[in-house]
Amino acid sequence: MRPTRGLYGSVACAEGPIPVWQVRRLLIIAIAMCAVSLPSRAAVVVSSKLDSEATLLSQMIRLLLNAHGVPTIDRTRIGATPVVRKALLTGEVDLYVEYTGNAGFFFNDVADAAWKDLEAGYALGARRDLEANHIVWLTPAHANNTWALAVRGDVASAHALRTMSDFGRWVAGGGAVMLACSAEFANAGTLRSLERTYGFTLTPEQKIVLAGGETAATIRAAAAGTNGVNTAMVYSTDGGIVAAHLVVLADDRHDQPVYAPVPLIREPVLAKYPQIATIVKPLMDSLTTPVLQQLNARIQIDGESDQEVAEDYLRSQHLL
């Protein structure tokens, strides 16, 4: 029979009154069972943007935290930068991997020269985010996922092209360059900025502007020499660079912002789990631009899953 609530320290039922202590015990057990059945908000919610590199890095961090006894919830690939950033600021997620140069957009200060230097940009972004939003920047990677130009390996070798200064001299001297790029790269100021800094100008006949302009398409065009293309707009950690035998030209005069991967975490969460900073540091210290190129290639070219590559890399570095 369904019990009814008693008035004076017991619950009445068909079999007789139930003592208060037993009722309390049953309630405690029921509450505990409910708690087990629901995700614990005490767990660190690890998120990421949609791209494979951001997801890979966040998965590495999540695996490391789990291995060190810090519970996590996987909420990777939830959206583009504005979506993930808002989720962090509102407390919907606790940690994700951002890029240092994006702080110029977050704080409406893209003209600050600090964003073109890894250490200076990191220091400025970390200070502003902590003061304004109680967001802590953990250790950054020694890598730069910025817009860049990459030249076919045979062309780079024939003309000793290793830096953008080399490229500028070659083009200004009549070098036969054909660039595949996106409309955004060609028209939004990035290419013009590189031209001013390195003293060259590309004519319309030397540019093939691809619809959409994804770097996978520009890399394929350069690798295959489509319509004479020998130079591609890339992100400097693209996985396809390795497979296509392209040489990324170093931005030796620091024209473009540095986009170093850096984990961001809410200050209250770090206060609860202060060991996270120490856990994450050796991973981020191990990451360079060539390392990220190779890891991205395993996902983007070889078709491995981000979690598989993440776990394999952590084990190879004796971190997991």
The CATH number linked to 201 is 3.40.190.120
> Domain limits at 232?
147-248
Domain boundary (248, 270, 301) is at: 248
The confidence band for 25, taking pLDDT boundaries of 50, 70 and 90, is: low
Query: 194: which residues sit within 8 A by CB, 6+ positions away?
Result: 149, 164, 255, 256
Of 21-25, 62-66, 165-169, give the lowest mean pLDDT range.
Answer: 21-25
Return the closest-CA partner of residue 291 out of 265, 307, 309, 318: 309
Contact 294, 180 (CB under 8 A): no
Query: What is the tens place of the pLDDT at every residue in 64-79?
Result: 999 999 999 999 999 9
Q: Do residues 155 and 107 both lie within one domain?
A: no
Q: Do residues 58 and 138 both lie within one domain?
A: yes
Dihedral of alpha carbons 245, 246, 252, 258, sign? negative
Asked if the model's pLDDT at residue 196 lies above 70, the reply is yes
> What per-residue confidence (pLDDT) applies to 1?
33
Q: Do residues 8 and 82 both lie within one domain?
A: no
**Strands 147-152 and 246-248, sheet pairing:** antiparallel
> What per-residue confidence (pLDDT) applies to 286?
98
The confidence band for 189, taking pLDDT boundaries of 50, 70 and 90, is: confident
Q: Do residues 198 and 239 both lie within one domain?
A: yes
Return the closest-CA partner of residue 57 out of 104, 98, 93, 101: 98
Q: How many domains does the chain have?
A: 3
Q: Do residues 134 and 281 both lie within one domain?
A: yes
Cα end-to-end distance, the chain, whole Å: 54
Q: Do residues 56 and 78 both lie within one domain?
A: yes
Asked if the model's pLDDT at residue 22 lies above 70, the reply is no
Q: Do residues 241 and 228 both lie within one domain?
A: yes
Contact 277, 138 (CB under 8 A): yes
pTM of the model: 0.81
Tokens linked to 94:
């606790």
DSSP H helical ranges for 38-189: 52-67, 81-89, 103-106, 118-133, 153-159, 164-172, 183-187
Query: What is the tens place of the pLDDT at every residue in 107-154?
Result: 999 999 999 999 999 999 999 999 999 999 999 999 999 999 999 999
Query: What is the tens place of the pLDDT at every residue in 234-257?
Result: 999 999 998 999 999 999 999 999
Distance of alpha carbon 82 from alpha carbon 59, whole angstroms: 20
Domain boundary (227, 248, 269) is at: 248
Q: Do residues 263 and 286 both lie within one domain?
A: yes
Q: What is the DSSP string of 155-200?
A: HHHHHT--BHHHHHHHHHTT----EEEEHHHHHSSHHHHHHHHHT-
